[in-house]
Structure 1
């Protein structure tokens, strides 16, 4: 009874987290999508897809929590209710949840989202004067025609994995010393096909994770630190309007002075050209100020802006905390990466699976220590994977959707096209696989594999007895793969996620090798972006060749490094509070000389 109550509470907490994920998906979709291009079909698909992605993200903490709940860390034994039958029931429920969510992810990203993308694209290709039924059927056929290519690719991928022999299975795993690893080898063609397909998707997701999550992990804390504007949106709107009026008045004076002449003098022509360029800049500033105030957007967008303004003073402290967290994660990944490269039990033959941690790893240590205060470690795990997910979104927003150096779509709040939203959702789904691999294999490998489970090095004398380490805390050791077939055989239960990832990397070592060495590329991207962002604005300077580079530069007015609590109050109230004329004159002079 106690076991069902404990596991039930964990699943209830997961259901609450999924409900919050749905709310976050609605807010994210409506605030990022361009209001003028909003489509009900695209918004619905995006909301469902993002909710399923977040539900997938939150499943890893549930996996660790359920497995950990079966053990008594202080005694190195299983709880009385944690019978083999009950543990099998827990693992079966987790496998069903994993299969369901990952099947939904695959269905959404490989069929539903491509179909929705081409459905939206077909809207501009159909003559709107045609009959409505014909238009609908034409759009339906056009979307299905292109989506069918994705269906063929998925089928081909599964068939290749079904017939190609698993590389890890050659020799029956004789190069492995531990029975735990040998049991990970695929035993049937269906399992091989699944591991092959997931291995390819994990590798693709890891490549995206290297670029976008690596950059976002550095940019997210820096953007928090540098996000508070030195001038509020109402003040910017007021002073810009004054500057535009003065600019146009000066243009009229020049036109009147040269009205009776055949043409302007060279001096007046140069001044007129400078005034016209300045006018275009000021008009863009007016538009930016209006957008920052929420004009032209729905009530949800304006309410979200107000919430951001209220929380703005806390962003600096939050940015410093996130910066320390990012550095901690990077240091932990470096330590684990070196440990795996030097001490893996089978090196490249099994994707650098590590038998047990040989060096002090700070993140893993923090999670194990936090487990003493239930349920702190589970909450920290959920926040950790959510932080990686948020970093991926930050990287997408900073870099955009690109092919090499060519920007295909731009990801901006209130300016994201429906096509960009759908493509970004697919990319995030793939990055989720890379994030799960990084967390389970590098960030906290021992904790993500066995949670807080421990075992007693003093095995029982008679079969069926519980091990007894009372009075001998030194005999209690954390569970790890290396001990699975010795004293810990009946005590340590690995998580479903770590077992599946180990099975992928063991059966297809090439995927494990690529995914492992890609983590060092991830660290390299993080260090380059982090070093660069310390001295530049909190976005990658990849838009210099784009036509909208000048507009992006103007947006720096609303995201400069200055701090002004008056700007926060004015953004919150929507009024400047009696702006003095001297301020307007000073701003007009500054803008005119810029």
Structure 2
């Protein structure tokens, strides 16, 4: 039975890996420019994105495997879960984690930079006349990558020789076996812990800026993907506006007849403005015709209708994601307050929380769902993809910047290979920060012990497990502060929580920065979210004629109703009659 359960958990993870590979491929092909596609860049980006998502999605597998060793009903260790079997499960997970974390670090610090320089070294003319060979190109890329190799060596050397945190050793709160175990590690593990702790901290800074903004903007992106004016209405209004424009031009040109010095300055400026507006309206008319499927075959027209039918799902999905984002915000804020107030050792161990003191809704949902695998895995997958998608939207909106200077823009179908590689490095660091945030802030109890419980009663005979079958009130959830001989035997912390707690307790500066950065994350999210309700920033995704449309100044909530109306008109193919004029900047109706 135990073998079947373990195999099912790993098979679920394998299926998730295949799904992640497809998601990574779609992400890369969706954003890269078709003209400058390079096989090396595409392969590295897809593989790196898949590896980093596979790392964070190992967490529910970890929790399910360690939780399978005990029964949450009576708080007892299962008969097959001998200490050797439990150690074997933990050791296997450690190998997988260390392999994935090391792979992420090498991809981020060595492989992606080498691929960047490899692409930059390509010279089409030099390759054509034979002056550039594969060997010379390899040496040129390797020459610039040497600096990153030196950086990796320095990181591991510093981590290898840096001393343990003295405050953590002397803290009386850390006398429990759970905390002592975090301080017991060899130099090799410490080197990897330091290197990844530093990468997580750097990633947290990027995560605060980009993911916080993206978490507020992602629901807006889905809602904005539905136009606030339907295609038939856009075509009808554009035709009417174009006719008015040309009529006004004829009136101005009529004034010019018989004049020796031509139009006066005011009329000339108006005529020039009308000519520019006419070009915009002609393009908009063409786009409306293409969007409605005019002069297309029945298959194209049918597909356009189907897209319009499913468009309300985007609207509803956007509103639902907005509610979920607020739910995540609330849960993270509760955990942050709980840690700041009730942490057992505060700054000395990076604000490790001994047990949950305030009810936290997302943590409660995950703990309850983890009793029936793979419900919690599906929820965790959706949560991670939500954070990942928010990070992509944040990077696409803000752009890759150095201070106020925009280095690269990330746009669908217009992202250069260099920008895609830099975005991949940023996403790698962000996902490491997401891993910390989910484990430490979003669902801390679930990520540490899952649904594990222990029987808080003394056994009748030495060596015998206590009986809680008739004393359900004696069954308690496993926590870090459970100083009970039974809890030590039954409760097995997850490998990922052990690793992250090891980072924060051995290098408290990383724990302090990462903890207080979560409040900065919540603050930026709140500012951007409030701003989107009243003034929606210009997004480069799924906008009709994005180069011609001006930034929308109206609030998001005010335009949502019109988007549903526009969807209905696109399905029926009929435009609502409007009496008045249409603003040329945004194509929406306003009464004269």
CA contact (8 A) 1:233 1:292 kept: yes
Q: Distance in 2 between matches of 1:237 and 1:531?
A: 33
Which residue of the partner structure matches residue 531 of structure 2?
A: 532
Which residue of the partner structure matches residue 519 of structure 1?
A: 518
Kindly tell me: are residues 129 and 502 of structure 1, through their superposed partners in 2, closer, same or farther at Cα, counting changes over 3 Å?
closer
CA contact (8 A) 2:308 2:567 kept: yes
Higher deviation after alignment, 480-489 or 69-78: 480-489
Alignment of 1:33-112 (within 5 A): 33-112=32-111
* SS of equivalent residue, structure 2 residue 487: coil
Match for residue 163 of structure 2 among 146, 162, 165: 165
Match for residue 142 of structure 2 among 140, 144, 150: 144
Which residue of the partner structure matches residue 224 of structure 1?
A: 222
Q: Distance in 1 between matches of 2:554 and 2:417?
A: 25
Alignment of 1:107-146 (within 5 A): 107-123=106-122, 127-128=125-126, 131-132=129-130, 134=132, 136-146=134-144
Describe the superposition over 1:297-344 as per-residue Cα deviations: whole angstroms up to 9, x where unpaired.
xxxxx9999986553212333233222222222222222112211221
Q: Distance in 1 between matches of 2:24 and 2:339?
A: 37
Describe the superposition over 1:412-451 as per-residue Cα deviations: whole angstroms up to 9, x where unpaired.
2222222222111111111111111111111111111000
CA contact (8 A) 1:484 1:492 kept: no
Tell me the CA shift for residue 511 of structure 1. Answer: 0.5
Unaligned runs of 5+ in 1: 296-301, 542-547
Q: Distance in 1 between matches of 2:159 and 2:42?
A: 34
Which residue of the partner structure matches residue 344 of structure 1?
A: 343
* SS of equivalent residue, structure 2 residue 185: coil
Which residue of the partner structure matches residue 177 of structure 1?
A: 175
Alignment of 1:257-296 (within 5 A): 264-279=263-278, 281-282=280-281, 285=284
Which residue of the partner structure matches residue 508 of structure 2?
A: 509
Q: Distance in 2 between matches of 1:334 and 1:578?
A: 48
Q: Distance in 1 between matches of 2:437 and 2:50?
A: 21
Q: Distance in 1 between matches of 2:534 and 2:153?
A: 48
Higher deviation after alignment, 453-462 or 72-81: 453-462
Tell me the CA shift for residue 528 of structure 1. Answer: 0.9
Q: Distance in 2 between matches of 1:311 and 1:168?
A: 59
CA contact (8 A) 1:168 1:350 kept: no
Q: Distance in 1 between matches of 2:47 and 2:303?
A: 21
Tell me the CA shift for residue 20 of structure 1. Answer: 1.2
* SS of equivalent residue, structure 1 residue 327: helix
Q: Distance in 1 between matches of 2:95 and 2:303?
A: 37
Describe the superposition over 1:20-61 as per-residue Cα deviations: whole angstroms up to 9, x where unpaired.
111122222222222233333322222222222222231111
Kindly tell me: are residues 110 and 178 of structure 1, through their superposed partners in 2, closer, same or farther at Cα, counting changes over 3 Å?
same
Q: Distance in 1 between matches of 2:401 and 2:285?
A: 29
Which residue of the partner structure matches residue 443 of structure 1?
A: 442
* SS of equivalent residue, structure 1 residue 441: helix
CA contact (8 A) 2:535 2:556 kept: no
Q: Distance in 2 between matches of 1:252 and 1:140?
A: 65
Which residue of the partner structure matches residue 543 of structure 2?
A: none
CA contact (8 A) 2:581 2:589 kept: no
Higher deviation after alignment, 42-51 or 490-499: 42-51
Kindly tell me: are residues 529 and 578 of structure 1, through their superposed partners in 2, closer, same or farther at Cα, counting changes over 3 Å?
closer
Kindly tell me: are residues 325 and 579 of structure 1, through their superposed partners in 2, closer, same or farther at Cα, counting changes over 3 Å?
closer
TM-score normalised by the chain length of structure 2: 0.86
Match for residue 207 of structure 1 among 205, 218, 221: 205
Kindly tell me: are residues 305 and 156 of structure 1, through their superposed partners in 2, closer, same or farther at Cα, counting changes over 3 Å?
farther
CA contact (8 A) 2:536 2:553 kept: no
Higher deviation after alignment, 153-162 or 37-46: 37-46
Tell me the CA shift for residue 140 of structure 1. Answer: 3.0
Tell me the CA shift for residue 588 of structure 1. Answer: 8.6
CA contact (8 A) 1:46 1:425 kept: yes
TM-score normalised by the chain length of structure 1: 0.85
Tell me the CA shift for residue 479 of structure 1. Answer: 0.4
* SS of equivalent residue, structure 1 residue 455: strand
Higher deviation after alignment, 262-271 or 40-49: 262-271
CA contact (8 A) 1:53 1:429 kept: yes
Kindly tell me: are residues 556 and 93 of structure 1, through their superposed partners in 2, closer, same or farther at Cα, counting changes over 3 Å?
farther
Q: Distance in 1 between matches of 2:533 and 2:475?
A: 45
Equivalenced residue count is 577
Describe the superposition over 1:248-303 as per-residue Cα deviations: whole angstroms up to 9, x where unpaired.
797688679869956543233212321244246447757976998999xxxxxx99
Which residue of the partner structure matches residue 331 of structure 1?
A: 330
Q: Distance in 1 between matches of 2:293 and 2:552?
A: 17
Q: Distance in 2 between matches of 1:209 and 1:95?
A: 26
Which residue of the partner structure matches residue 196 of structure 2?
A: 198
Q: Distance in 2 between matches of 1:584 and 1:45?
A: 55
Q: Distance in 2 between matches of 1:189 and 1:530?
A: 45
Q: Distance in 1 between matches of 2:278 and 2:442?
A: 52
Kindly tell me: are residues 117 and 347 of structure 1, through their superposed partners in 2, closer, same or farther at Cα, counting changes over 3 Å?
same
Which residue of the partner structure matches residue 368 of structure 2?
A: 369
Tell me the CA shift for residue 484 of structure 1. Answer: 5.5
* SS of equivalent residue, structure 2 residue 454: strand
Q: Distance in 2 between matches of 1:447 and 1:252?
A: 72
Q: Distance in 2 between matches of 1:555 and 1:126?
A: 46
